[in-house]
Chains A and B, each alone.
Chain A
């Protein structure tokens, strides 16, 4: 019984180490060695626009529970998407508080009102709606009063920014999610990006 467990553990450890060695581990190591990645939102907007927008306090992260009120289909759909599980590995690992990793694996890390830590802001873990569309508070206001879209820093009205957003996470190093970007991008127009 013990031996069995032990053997299983040994095997698992072996497989895991192998995986890390020949895959993510290498990329992780590389990532750790590289200078920190720029905050995706900042790299999309540019320094000045980013500072204006975030400084104005109009753009705050609210979490996807709020979006659920009006976009329940998207909420449910995205729950099944990998972006909503981007923290699964990180939060269990030694990198759970590593800013270098959180920038791409959480929502709005490094941005005021964005993700801080699993303890303080569990609701902004993973790459949520606002991880791609940008802080949602302004949209909530517009949507609640005027019953229409708009108010995002990278909403559907700015596909150039939205595309740049994808690419600031899906860098040359982290490039295994898709082979054809356009078709991957277009899938996200639907509630369930499958």
Chain B
């Protein structure tokens, strides 16, 4: 488990990051979507409020509209010349002349009534638009309170008894009774129409409302038995809707059209009853927006995940690169160490010269090479004189020091291409490639002189040292390096015998010359 974590922590973290970004995107989508829904709900509630307000107004208007309808029905028979419904403050609330509605009514007679000089509900005669009329300002009262005045005039040009006559003739009196009866009927109807609640008319009103509003599809009033009592869609009237059909506001589909459905409980009706208002609005804009939101969320999530993957990949590769570099470094280190170890195994710990094994190897190699290319090659063997005595006199440490310093002196006389090794004890062997016997002899002499040139310093004391050298060089008859080496060794032996501190060239080479 822990191993797994160690190995995959970064990709896992990135995947987690990607997932959290995308879940954030989706959360955002969710929040926005809810906001949209909330907004749609608010809109729908606004609509409901304005509908109820409009319905109130509708009843209001209807109360005077029905008056006009009544008038136009009756007026055919009674030949009404002018009709107005005036508010107590003089504003014309309704009139047969539509352009007047909303204006303030101003005539001498009416002014007199407002000023209290003339009384309401009495017939009077005057001329309006060149036409002689009999008119009345009839008060409409509800519970004793004046709520409006009806101005009603009839054309009496047919009657002879026009003019300034104070006592109208019989037919005019009959007319007055008719008119008073009509006005009473109107008054009753106004009183009633605030109570009468004709649902069929409300249907028309609602359907008109739906027509003019953009997004509304249907408005219905549902009673508590779940029956549609009023609807903008008349075919729905009477339909029964189970209450279970109406959970809180929802988004549904009707005939493939997205619809938002809101039910407002307890909408107070003018007749005092409470009903439920069912509102269906077009949810297509919402669905469009929602789809847009979803697309954004999806692309955000996609981008986040891609991004995470990309970074994971990048990190992965850089990790790989790093580990490769590390590996290379380690390998280099190992190589170096092995080389060192190799060197150690090839060199002599005391003098730093090649050891015997390596020396033999080199002699073998050099021998073969020189023979193949018919090059020159010389070997000489150096042996320090009386080394045993030095050891005995100065101790092993002294001997070691002598060996070390002499090795350095010999090395300093050689070329880098030459090999120098400690063959054992106090014996040093030098392999000179590409070197004739003469040159080798010269070098050997130089070395011999150098060894003896000054004593070795060992602490406070000085140790005088000399060396004997035997030389041999490659010749065609040689079969292996040992032959050359033993020749050199033989020559060394001669040097020793002849008194030490000298160079002896193998006699085979001398004969050659």
Chain A residues in contact with chain B, CB under 8 A? 65, 68-69, 72, 75-76, 79-80, 122-123
Check if A123 sits within 8 Å of B97, measured CB to CB: no
Chain B residues with CB under 8 Å of A65's CB are 79, 81, 131, 155
Q: Which residues of the partner chain A approach B155 to less than 8 Å between Cβ atoms?
A: 65, 123
Residues of chain A with a CB closer than 8 A to B157's CB: 122-123
Q: Which residues of A contact B129 (CB under 8 A)?
A: 68, 72, 75-76, 79
A-B interface contact total, Cβ < 8 Å: 22
| Shortest distance from the beta carbon of B76 to any chain A beta carbon, whole Å | 10
Q: Which residues of B contact A69 (CB under 8 A)?
A: 96-97
A8 to B414, CA, bound (A): 181
18 example contacts (A-B, Cβ-Cβ < 8 A) are as follows A65-B79, A65-B81, A65-B131, A65-B155, A68-B129, A69-B97, A72-B97, A76-B129, A76-B130, A79-B129, A79-B130, A79-B131, A80-B130, A122-B157, A123-B79, A123-B155, A123-B157, A123-B158
Bound Cα distance from A123 to B131, whole angstroms: 11
Interface residues of B, dominant DSSP: loop
* B155-206 at interface with A (beta carbon < 8 Å): 155, 157-158
Given A65-B131, A68-B129, A80-B130, 4 additional A-B pairs, CB 8 A = A65-B79, A69-B97, A72-B129, A76-B129
Nearest B-chain residue to A78, judged by Cβ: B130
Residues of A within 8 A of B130 (CB): 76, 79-80
For B158, the chain A residues whose CB sits under 8 A away are 122-123
Q: 1/0 per position for B338-369, CB-CB distance to A under 8 A?
A: 00000000000000000000000000000000
Q: How far is the CA of A123 from the CA of B76 in the complex (A)?
A: 13
Closest A residue to B159 by beta carbon equals: A122
Min CB–CB distance B307 → chain A (angstroms):
66
10 closest A-B pairs (Cβ-Cβ)? Answer: A79-B130, A122-B158, A76-B129, A69-B96, A65-B155, A65-B81, A75-B129, A72-B97, A122-B157, A76-B130
Tell me the smallest distance from the CB of A101 to a CB of chain B, in Å. Answer: 21
Assembled-state Cα–Cα distance A75/B131 (Å): 10
Residues in chain A near residue B97, CB distance under 8 A:
69, 72
Kindly list chain B residues whose C-beta atoms are within 8 Å of the C-beta of A122. 157-158
Chain A residues with Cβ below 8 Å from B81 are: 65
